[in-house]
Chains A and B, each alone.
Chain A
Amino acid sequence: DAGVTQSPTHLIKTRGQQVTLRCSPISGHKSVSWYQQVLGQGPQFIFQYYEKEERGRGNFPDRFSARQFPNYSSELNVNALLLGDSALYLCASSLLGGGSSPLHFGNGTRLTVT
């Protein structure tokens, strides 16, 4: 079975631009979470979706938004990019929400903002 897949793998954007990152969960998984990982730090929680509804939001500005589609795939959108948004963006899926099953992460999208 395929794991969590994310696209694109790398992305370079300019300050002020907008970006959309995509994630396909493991087949059968209904929960998708997004994390931001800055170099040298642990991942920081951005969003969690379960059954297409937002179930959690981290301490990120409104420039960050996300959604989950009927097939459980997900998109993360970031508007008005800042240099500080440069990071590895990780998507994770789990069979169930609420922390009752382990998270499985994709390889991430490396976003560079110049």
Chain B
Amino acid sequence: KQEVTQIPAALSVPEGENLVLNCSFTDSAIYNLQWFRQDPGKGLTSLLLIQSSQREQTSGRLNASLDKSSGRSTLYIAASQPGDSATYLCAVGETDSWGKLQFGAGTQVVVTP
């Protein structure tokens, strides 16, 4: 059974510092991995989608890497801003599950001015 873990559960950084968020998964037979952002009481906003054949994806200040063999993904957010404060969730799509995503519990990020 696939298990997705995100450590730490919470993180506080001063504005301008780079953020590094970690995601690990137990079964490397994944189809893709997706990073989401969730603001309090809101739905999820898709940030980056990495297909299993890719090693990284970039969008603006965001960069996500994927290492299937070690079961890890890392989300980097450069030059953090107070508006980056949110919960960040990673989710893996498994090869035999036709689109079902298995989520981690998320990392709650606070960026202080």
The chain A residues found within 8 Å of chain B, CB to CB, are 4, 31, 33, 35, 40-45, 48, 50, 55-56, 58, 88, 90, 92, 94, 97-108, 110
Q: Which 6 A-B pairs have the closest CB atoms?
A: A42-B103, A99-B93, A105-B43, A105-B44, A107-B43, A99-B99
Cα distance A62–B32 in the bound complex, in angstroms: 29
| CB < 8 Å A-B pair total | 75
Establish whether residues B89 and A48, one from each chain, have CB atoms under 8 Å apart when the complex forms.
no
* B interface with A by C-beta (< 8 Å): 4, 31-32, 34, 36, 41-46, 49, 89, 91, 93, 97-106
| Contact B4–A102 (Cβ < 8 Å) | no
Name the residue in A44, A50, A98, A110 with the highest tally of chain B Cβ atoms < 10 Å from its Cβ: A98
A-B contact pairs, 20 of them (CB 8 A): A40-B105, A42-B91, A42-B104, A43-B91, A45-B102, A48-B99, A50-B99, A97-B99, A99-B31, A99-B93, A99-B98, A99-B99, A99-B100, A102-B34, A103-B34, A103-B46, A104-B46, A107-B42, A107-B43, A108-B42
- Asked whether, in the complex, the Cβ of A102 is within 8 Å of the Cβ of B46, the reply is yes
Q: Bound state CA distance, A28 and B18, in angstroms? A: 37
Given contacts A42-B103, A56-B99, A103-B34, contact A90 B46 (CB under 8 A): no
Residues of B near A100 (CB, < 8 A) are: 32
Known: A42-B89, A42-B104. A98 touches B99 (CB 8 A): yes
The answer to whether residues A108 and B43 also contact, given A99-B31, A102-B49 and a CB cut-off of 8 A, is yes
B36 proximity list for chain A (CB < 8 A):
105
What residues of A have a CB within 8 angstroms of the CB of B100 in the complex? 33, 45, 48, 56, 58, 99
Give the chain A neighbours of B98 by CB distance below 8 A.
Answer: 48, 55-56, 97-99
Given the known interface contacts A55-B98, A99-B31, A103-B34, the answer about A43 and B46 at a Cβ–Cβ threshold of 8 Å is no
A26 to chain B, nearest CB (A): 12
B97 CB to closest chain A CB (Å) equals 7
